[in-house]
Structure 1
Amino acid sequence: MFIVLRRLPDGGAELTPVGRPQPGTAPVVGESVVVDEADLAMAVATREVETSPRWVWDDTRRWYPRLLGLGVRVARCVDLRLCHALLRGSEATVGSELHGAAAGPYDVAQAGVDDVAGLFEVVPESLPDPVGEFLRQRRAIESSPGRGGLELLTTAESTGALVACEMHHRGIPWSATVHDRLLTEALGPRPARGGERPVRMRDDVDEIRAALGAPDLNPDSPADLLKVLQRAGLGVASTSKWELRRHEHPVVEPLLRYKRRQRLLVANGWAWLDAWVRQGRFRPDYVPGGVVTGRWATSGGGALQLPKAVRAAVVADPGWTLVVADASQLEPRILTGLSRDVAMAAAGDGDLYEGIVASGAVATRAEAKVAMLGAMYGATQGESGRLVPRLARRFPKAMEYVEAAARTGEAGGVVSTLLGRSSPRPGEAVAADLPPEMDRGPVGRDARAWGRFTRNFVVQGTAAEWALCWMGATRAALHERFAGRGEGAPHLVFFLHDEIVVHSPADVADEVVAIVEQSAVAAGRLLFGEAPVRFPVTVAVVDDYSQAK
């Protein structure tokens, strides 16, 4: 059963049951019940226990944080906003009223922090007609030739939204004391005044100025720095580290060192610590499906880019530990499953890159890695371009799969992931995960670049689907096994594309490891059935996050 929630103008909520139909029949909409805001959590909790429904709401971020704050966990939901985006853009829903529809109220961004920050504040009214929107979505799925994939994709996407809220609610265990020590070791003591450079960065600036003979140079100004570098005889076109490393000059080492310290200070310095760590927890704001491939983004805190310099601050609570799991060589294995390339599957029985070497395609593991990256990103030059043809000879089905996706993109067409998320057409996309060199206009301007995007889209997007299924399976298994422990149960606290972290009591860490590994296998079977492709994960049980690397 589904239960659709709608926020009413007076702050109460309307609960409308919708029966799950048999294939080819219309859903049965039941009689709505209205509850006061004060009674909503109890109404949800009661129905969760009695009927285990799939809750349907406009935006998980508008509903779930408040329920979590009142101690109510739900197992399943349908996030109408996320599912609307999937179904509206999917080639699998062509012919439905949702496919390609004009932008409307369900095309809004995820609810912001201010909308849900206060537990007892008035919550904004729901997006309009959630029952009608849900029925439109069900019709689009039921009538699609890709029904099975869309069912799994919308379920996984909605589960990801639940996980994102739960990880924000519980937070990543974070030691402000360790973080401050790490910053002090790298930068020097915290400056007394905001905006002032720490002492080691001031020393770097003095060294940079001396090496360039520019006593007033501000190295934070790219234009000024570039001008002074060129005046000093360095033929650089930019101030990037890749450009600087090509030159021998006394300024290169201190300048690169300053840039590293500056990035740390800006991204995860003391201002970040003050803003984001409270009561021993860092609570990032994840944005599920935040980029066009389905990968997550963040709207604050930068959780998807935690640098190694501060990972030691992620410290398990006393008596607890961190179970850190990393999917090994995920995207090449996804390509194996997509293409059903038996030869590549055999190579991936153990370490995939070592298997490619053993096949005779390349000579070293490093070459295998470079060649696979080249294949998935469309390299035609350099070391990658030289090695890709060797892969094509050994693994023709895998290489033809990405080549076909590239040809479709070059022709201005649309490609889709395994479960049915479709790529934008040239000129439609403005998301952050498009290649930086991509021309956003008509495909004819840079057809090869768009082909590189679609080539990677099918692999990266399907990898995102696998990761959602892995995380969802882990979440469900942890709850089934440890729900009786209440707040003392192991729980997910971090997600980074192909990596998850579970905060676990030390006495059950071994069981958690087994659950994480079994969930990876389950995710592979959900997507690829009995295809001969493995998804091994590397798991470490550590006291702090830096020990896992």
Structure 2
Amino acid sequence: MHIVLDLHDGVVTATRIEGDGATGDAAQLDLTALVEFVAEREAAERPRWVWANTRQWYPRLLAAGVRVERCVDLTLCHRILRRSALTAESALARGPESAWDVASSALIEPVPAQSPALFDVEVPATTAGLDPVREFEAQLAAVSSAEQPGRIRLLLAAESAGALIAEEIRFTGLPWRADVHDRVLTQALGPRPAPERHPAKLDELATRIRELLDAPALNPDSQPELLAALRRVGLDVASTRKWELRELQHPVIAPLLEYKNLYRLYTANGWAWLDAWVHEGRFRPDYVVGGVVTGRWATSGGGALQLPKNVRQAVVADPGWKLVVADAAQLEPRVLTGLAHDRAMADAGRGRDLYDSIVAAQVVPSRPHAKVAMLGAMYGATTGDSARLMPRLRRAFPQAIALVDHAAEEGERGDRVMSRLGRTSPPPSAGWRAVQQRASEPGATSSDERRARSQARDWGRFTRNFVVQASAAEWALCWMAETRLRLAALNGRSLSGAPHLVYFLHDEVMIHTPEQFAPQVERVLHDAARAAGELLFGTFPVDFPLTVATVDTYADAK
């Protein structure tokens, strides 16, 4: 049973939708009565709450101490259903753009074709004034008419569960010691500087860099100035990226690399970040569910997905509590194993490190080679060790490599590909298609053809990785959703005083738990990982082992 919530002019309308899709009674409530209504219905019926946007509804409930088990986030689900190949023939997918498309547009189209894996993120638009009952009925119809309704239904449920988790993490916050963070910064950078001034360590390094480059007026934060200064001393550089600088031999390289590392710490997680994001002992990540086109999460502020190792010292459990940190070992290769039903690869990873098994089978000479080869297979590397080792990997795991090869071929033709549960890649841009068309015309030049081949290969690398990364994101969503439900069973459904999720990073989760529950939390994480694998791949024997650590501080987890 579902209950659809709609807010208009300060009045909430709660409409029952029965299991067969029939519309039932509707009750009208003021915002004060909403909390009590949801609490009563949740306890009595455990419905699936349907609302336009979890972020607009759930924080109010959490602040009042009300937690819900399930929901349907219409904006997130709308975006999936409009784009999925499984629902492409539905009225919802074939209809003209509507206000729901605007409301659900947390993503924009990818950046130019040479790097299609990068995506910008926008905060979802307001959903005020939309009709959630009508939209929910349209979504139910789209799912019921899908080629494989079970797949897309699971994806929608997982995505909506992710929305609940993101809001609960933001509500509870990640425990954070501001004094420890300040100590880390002071040790690395020197005392906190006055406004508009750089820390002492950065000033010292900048002075050293200027001396070594004989450039007394150089601003090392300016890439054009730094490039010019490096070239003046005879260094052939195309950029100031760290990986390129490491290849150079000159006395300035060591202080310059140290400057770049410390400048990144200062600007990304320095004192200004601490003032803005840590309050009352908590950092509250601002996650964007499905903020990347593959379904991975993004953040709209705070940089929760890029916490450097030294800053992790500040993530400290409360007294009497522990942090249980778990990450899925070699998640994407194992997801590829399940997608391809490659039994040889499943056997290699069963109960052991997949890369070590590849070495033991004499496919490649070392573990680093195994990792490079596997990443190259999933990301489409065409040069270096990855390309050289690909034939060996193809012979060892033909089904897995054939799957990503096929996805790349689809992309090169301009076709779309799907994740395990039906999330579908975007089509290439009109500009991309124009380049391909131009290369096939009678008057095409060799330059036109080279450009078309290059862009086709780039898009093929994107679709090659999409099928794996998007399916891995689905596994992670199912893992978190299962973990959340199982944690609730340990000590009631309240977030207060009970184990709860406080952090998520692609294939890693963190639970903040009273110390006495830590062993049970570890078992929950392992059980939830197995359940997530079964949800996606049924009885196919692919393992999803975890590395789990119970610690006092995040820095000790790895």
- Do these two structures clear the TM 0.5 threshold for a shared fold by scoring above it? yes
Residues 102-117 of structure 1: matches in 2 within 5 Å?
102-108=96-102
Report the equivalent of 1:232. Answer: 233
For 2:105 and 2:30, the matched residues in 1 are separated by 22
Report the equivalent of 1:438. Answer: none
Residue among 509, 518, 540 paired with 2:518: 509
Residue among 365, 377, 383 paired with 2:367: 365
User: Does 2:485 match 1:460?
Assistant: no
- Per-residue Cα deviation, 1:86-143 (whole angstroms, up to 9, x for no partner): 000000012111225433222235799xxxxxxxxxxx77341110100010000001
* Alignment check: 8 A CA contact 2:8 2:129 kept: no
For 1:130 and 1:489, the matched residues in 2 are separated by 33
Residue among 35, 53, 56 paired with 1:41: 35
1:18 Cα shift?
A: 0.3
- Per-residue Cα deviation, 1:349-405 (whole angstroms, up to 9, x for no partner): 111001111222111111100000000011121111101110001110010000010
User: Closer, same or farther in 2 for the Cα pair 1:357/1:540, shift >3 Å?
Assistant: same
- Per-residue Cα deviation, 1:14-52 (whole angstroms, up to 9, x for no partner): 00000122xxxxx10012110011111101111001111
Report the equivalent of 1:529. Answer: 538
Residues 64-463 of structure 1: matches in 2 within 5 Å?
64-108=58-102, 126-191=128-193, 193-349=194-350, 350-427=352-429, 446-463=455-472
For 1:388 and 1:310, the matched residues in 2 are separated by 37
User: Does 2:61 match 1:60?
Assistant: no
For 1:12 and 1:401, the matched residues in 2 are separated by 51
TM-score (norm 1): 0.93
User: Closer, same or farther in 2 for the Cα pair 1:93/1:544, shift >3 Å?
Assistant: same
- Per-residue Cα deviation, 1:44-100 (whole angstroms, up to 9, x for no partner): 111001111000000000000111001110000000000000000000012111225
One-letter amino acid of the structure 1 residue matched with residue 423 of structure 2 = R
User: Closer, same or farther in 2 for the Cα pair 1:444/1:237, shift >3 Å?
Assistant: closer
For 1:101 and 1:212, the matched residues in 2 are separated by 61
- Per-residue Cα deviation, 1:126-176 (whole angstroms, up to 9, x for no partner): 341110100010000001112000110000000000000000000000000
For 2:494 and 2:13, the matched residues in 1 are separated by 32
* Alignment check: 8 A CA contact 1:187 1:261 kept: yes
One-letter amino acid of the structure 2 residue matched with residue 253 of structure 1 = A
For 1:46 and 1:429, the matched residues in 2 are separated by 54
* Alignment check: 8 A CA contact 1:5 1:130 kept: yes
Residue among 476, 495, 502 paired with 2:504: 495
* Alignment check: 8 A CA contact 1:83 1:154 kept: yes
User: Does 2:18 match 1:19?
Assistant: yes
User: Closer, same or farther in 2 for the Cα pair 1:111/1:316, shift >3 Å?
Assistant: farther
1:484 Cα shift?
A: 6.6
Report the equivalent of 2:113. Answer: none
Residue among 508, 528, 537 paired with 1:519: 528
* Alignment check: 8 A CA contact 2:349 2:543 kept: yes
User: Does 2:479 match 1:478?
Assistant: no
* Structure 2: runs of 5 or more not aligned: 107-125, 433-450
For 1:185 and 1:531, the matched residues in 2 are separated by 50
SS at match of 1:194: coil
User: Closer, same or farther in 2 for the Cα pair 1:352/1:429, shift >3 Å?
Assistant: farther
- Per-residue Cα deviation, 1:195-249 (whole angstroms, up to 9, x for no partner): 2111111100010000001111000111111111111111111111111111111
For 1:526 and 1:75, the matched residues in 2 are separated by 19
Residue among 32, 38, 51 paired with 2:26: 32
One-letter amino acid of the structure 1 residue matched with residue 541 of structure 2 = P
For 2:37 and 2:365, the matched residues in 1 are separated by 63
- Per-residue Cα deviation, 1:402-433 (whole angstroms, up to 9, x for no partner): 00101000011010001000000111799xxx
For 2:267 and 2:95, the matched residues in 1 are separated by 41
Report the equivalent of 2:443. Answer: none
User: Closer, same or farther in 2 for the Cα pair 1:384/1:258, shift >3 Å?
Assistant: same
For 2:489 and 2:306, the matched residues in 1 are separated by 31
* Structure 1: runs of 5 or more not aligned: 22-26, 113-123, 431-441
Range with greater deviation from structure 2 (476-485 or 226-235): 476-485
SS at match of 2:79: helix
* Alignment check: 8 A CA contact 1:323 1:503 kept: yes
* Alignment check: 8 A CA contact 1:482 1:489 kept: yes
Identical aligned residues as a percent: 56
Range with greater deviation from structure 2 (172-181 or 226-235): 226-235
User: Closer, same or farther in 2 for the Cα pair 1:125/1:539, shift >3 Å?
Assistant: closer
* Alignment check: 8 A CA contact 1:65 1:169 kept: yes
SS at match of 1:464: helix
For 1:98 and 1:242, the matched residues in 2 are separated by 47
SS at match of 1:312: helix
For 2:493 and 2:54, the matched residues in 1 are separated by 25
* Alignment check: 8 A CA contact 1:88 1:101 kept: no
One-letter amino acid of the structure 1 residue matched with residue 13 of structure 2 = E
One-letter amino acid of the structure 1 residue matched with residue 64 of structure 2 = L
One-letter amino acid of the structure 2 residue matched with residue 238 of structure 1 = S
For 2:103 and 2:199, the matched residues in 1 are separated by 38
1:8 Cα shift?
A: 1.2
For 1:234 and 1:332, the matched residues in 2 are separated by 39
One-letter amino acid of the structure 2 residue matched with residue 288 of structure 1 = V
- Per-residue Cα deviation, 1:457-482 (whole angstroms, up to 9, x for no partner): 00000000000000000000000121
User: Closer, same or farther in 2 for the Cα pair 1:181/1:100, shift >3 Å?
Assistant: farther
Range with greater deviation from structure 2 (489-498 or 101-110): 101-110
TM-score (norm 2): 0.91
SS at match of 1:426: coil
1:504 Cα shift?
A: 0.6
* Alignment check: 8 A CA contact 1:326 1:538 kept: yes
One-letter amino acid of the structure 1 residue matched with residue 31 of structure 2 = E
For 1:140 and 1:57, the matched residues in 2 are separated by 18
For 2:347 and 2:423, the matched residues in 1 are separated by 28
One-letter amino acid of the structure 2 residue matched with residue 332 of structure 1 = P
User: Closer, same or farther in 2 for the Cα pair 1:104/1:13, shift >3 Å?
Assistant: same
